[in-house]
Amino acid sequence: MNSKVQSLKDFLAGQDRLALVEVAGTKGSTPREKGAFMLVSPSATSGTIGGGQLEYMAIDRARQMVASSPRRKRQGKEARIEVDEVCATLDVPLGPEIGQCCGGRVEVLIRLIDNAIEQRLIADAEAEEAHLPHVYIFGGGHVGQALASTIALLPVHGVVIETRAEALEGMPETVETRLTPMPEAEVRNAPAGTAFAILTHDHALDFLIVAEALKRNDAAYVGMIGSKTKKATFKNWFLKSAEGSEAEFSRLVSPIGGDAVKDKRPPVIAALAAAEIMTALVVHNAPSNANRQQDKVMAG
């Protein structure tokens, strides 16, 4: 598994001259929030501050600064900058003048990256990754592969769990994979607030995993792929044989992705399910997110 933190480290290590472009302040409607950032080198970028002309302007200014700076001098793991201009600020109204109609205003801070900034970026990324919500995907078939590829792009810690080794081949690098003969046991050990998407090759196995997931009152989402008939069959088994309750069953989302779009192609199901999962995670984690923001304000 290649984490997003490792990807950041690799980008930082692979560039001799870099600038950090960060949203320092916002007013009104803006494409990204305060704190959003991107990295800019002479030939590459990583991240985004919202795209459009705002981003193009920031990249151009950053590259002007980078072009006039010497290469970062490294001694072991250290890096330092020896140049007069290491910081610049852009105050950009998002109006027709630049071809954007957001209507707000963005203050962008551009800094050449030195060792201190590099280490802060890595530390912040590690802290953010440690708090990412988990999404457990049970099943690495066609829909499982598509869903794994979709959530690999999202701010979550994705885990694909399978009983078949060959089904885990070709998974995205940023998604964790687990091979186990008892996938239902993984449910019991999952962190609080996990989203569970159950879509294995075996309906009986699906039922075991879903039953375990519905016992987790702290789960953010429990979804099972299938039809209305499959859901009804599961309900009958869950209530009569698995000692489940109506209240627990009511938390099951099935079919995943909803039934408003009548398209059973795996990538379409995956896109709809990913949106459904992200919505559930945001709602479930809203109180803790608010608390973390308050902690930052009090600390800052």
Q: What is the mean pLDDT of residues 102-112?
A: 91
Per-residue pLDDT at 271 exceeds 90: yes
Closest CA to 220 of 192, 246, 188: 192
CA distance 181 to 161: 10
pTM score, two decimals?
0.83
Q: What is the mean pLDDT of residues 256-284?
A: 94
**pLDDT score, position 288:** 55
Q: What percent of the chain has pLDDT over 70?
A: 90
Per-residue pLDDT at 292 exceeds 60: no
Q: What percent of the chain has pLDDT over 90?
A: 79
**pLDDT score, position 95:** 84
Q: Assign 289 a pLDDT band (cuts: 50, 70, 90).
A: low
**pLDDT score, position 11:** 94
Q: Which residue has the higher pLDDT, 149 or 289?
A: 149
HSE-CB for 107 with a 13 A CA cutoff: 7
Encode pLDDT of 2-38 as tens digits.
788 999 999 999 998 999 999 999 999 999 999 999 9
**pLDDT score, position 300:** 38
Q: Assign 72 a pLDDT band (cuts: 50, 70, 90).
A: low
Encode pLDDT of 208-258 as tens digits.
999 999 999 999 999 999 999 999 999 999 999 999 999 999 999 999 998
**pLDDT score, position 69:** 78
Q: What is the mean pLDDT of residues 181-189?
A: 96
Per-residue pLDDT at 279 exceeds 50: yes
For the chain, what are the domain ranges? 17-128, 134-288
CATH number of 134-288: 3.40.50.720
Per-residue pLDDT at 116 exceeds 90: yes
CA distance 254 to 245: 17
Per-residue pLDDT at 83 exceeds 60: no
